[in-house]
Amino acid sequence: MDGIEKRDRLIRSWMEEAAQKIQQHASADPVVEEKTGRKDLVTNMDREIEQFFVEKIKKEYPAERIYGEEGFGDEVNDLSGIVWFVDPIDGTLNYVLQKENFAIMLGVYEDGEGRMGYIYDMNTQSLYSAIKGKGIFKDNEPFAVPTDQKLSDGLLASSSLLMTDDRFEQHRDVAKKTLGVRMIGSAGLEILEVLKGNVVGYMAASLEPWDIAPGKVMMDEAGICCTQFNGEDVNLLRKNRVLFAYPTAYREMMDSFSEN
């Protein structure tokens, strides 16, 4: 992939502009529609922000494909070439009900390999980013990821489905081995909690490619594990049951899964 520095500058400016657009409408009630059900929502801002990114990307890189949550990009059936993953508002339920605890996410992959990942935390107005081989940054400053952590020494982040659906009893058994469970409701923010060392891992029962792709670039850069529950690589063309965890905690969790 050529022009990494230019891409990084452009993406950073787009992320900041998108955040400003959302903030400008913070006092207004969003127009809300259901997609697959009452827990799966889309708002006018989700659509506006994705359209914003699609227009920017297509202007600068017209030959590259975009895999976006709201469908304004391209139909993506393979990961050949350069593919952009766009999640305009990660944590839409939170955005609608809480007005906080959501993020903007963007990832750039080349032939299926993560090259660039960006998560904008709307709570703190902070931009976290990673470029393959260049480390992780918070607002242009190098960001140090904590050292390896054990399952029993920390907290675990989880998607709500894992704690409420009886199909995932073995995953609740894993959670019992930690000091406690935390749930935010935004994959992007949960991933940042892992990077900060606030949790030793994050389990999610059903994440879409755009929920995973930006954070996986950061996980790979930090040496943090990111796989499906069965240990296989994540598939960025469909939903996944995903585990993000520090290496020791990851091994402990996988061992616990195999015991059940």
Average pLDDT value for the chain: 93
**Same domain (yes/no): 197, 127:** no
**Same domain (yes/no): 250, 173:** yes
Mark which of 142, 170, 188 sits at the end of a domain. 142
User: Would the pLDDT of 131 be above 60?
Assistant: yes
**Same domain (yes/no): 138, 248:** no
Task: Give the DSSP H/E element, type plus range, for residue 74.
Answer: none
**166-198 per-residue burial string, b: 16 or more CB within 10 A, e: under 16:** eebeebbebbeebeebeebbbbbbbbbbbbeee
Q: Render pLDDT for 148-162 as a digit per residue (tens, 0 to 9).
A: 999 999 999 999 888
Instruction: Name the band, by pLDDT with cuts 50, 70 and 90, for residue 259.
Output: low
Mark which of 142, 171, 186 sits at the end of a domain. 142
Structure-token match 């990821």, residue found: 145
Q: Count structural domains, the chain.
A: 2
Q: At 182, which CATH number?
A: 3.40.190.80
Return the closest-CA partner of residue 149 out of 217, 197, 215: 197
Note the pLDDT of residue 27: 76
Tokens describing residue 201 = 């891992």
Q: What is the reported pTM?
A: 0.95
What's the average model confidence in pLDDT over 38-47?
82
The helix/strand/coil state of 12 is: helix
Instruction: Name the band, by pLDDT with cuts 50, 70 and 90, for residue 61.
Output: very high
Q: Which long-range contacts (CB under 8 A, 24 or more apart) does 124-132 make?
A: 125/19, 127/12, 127/15, 127/16, 128/192, 128/195, 128/218, 129/8, 129/11, 129/12, 130/217, 130/218, 130/221, 130/222, 131/4, 131/8, 131/217, 131/221, 132/217, 132/220, 132/221
**Same domain (yes/no): 36, 113:** yes
What's the average model confidence in pLDDT over 158-187?
87
Mark which of 142, 176, 194 sits at the end of a domain. 142
Q: At 103, which CATH number?
A: 3.30.540.10
Where is pLDDT greater, at 27 or 129? 129
Note the pLDDT of residue 42: 79
What's the average model confidence in pLDDT over 6-31?
92
Note the pLDDT of residue 161: 84
**Same domain (yes/no): 134, 10:** yes
Task: Give the DSSP H/E element, type plus range, for residue 40.
Answer: strand 40-43
What's the average model confidence in pLDDT over 23-35?
83
CB 47, CB 29: distance < 8 Å: no
Q: Render pLDDT for 76-98 as a digit per residue (tens, 0 to 9).
A: 999 999 999 999 999 999 999 99
Return the closest-CA partner of residue 127 out of 250, 244, 259, 15: 15
Which residues span the domain enclosing 228?
Answer: 151-259
Q: Would strands 141-142 and 135-138 be described as parallel, antiparallel, or unpaired?
A: antiparallel
User: Would the pLDDT of 260 be above 70?
Assistant: no
User: Would the pLDDT of 234 be above 90?
Assistant: yes
**Same domain (yes/no): 33, 138:** yes
**Same domain (yes/no): 112, 70:** yes
**Same domain (yes/no): 116, 158:** no
- The whole-angstrom distance between residue 203's C-alpha and the CA centroid of its chain comes to 12
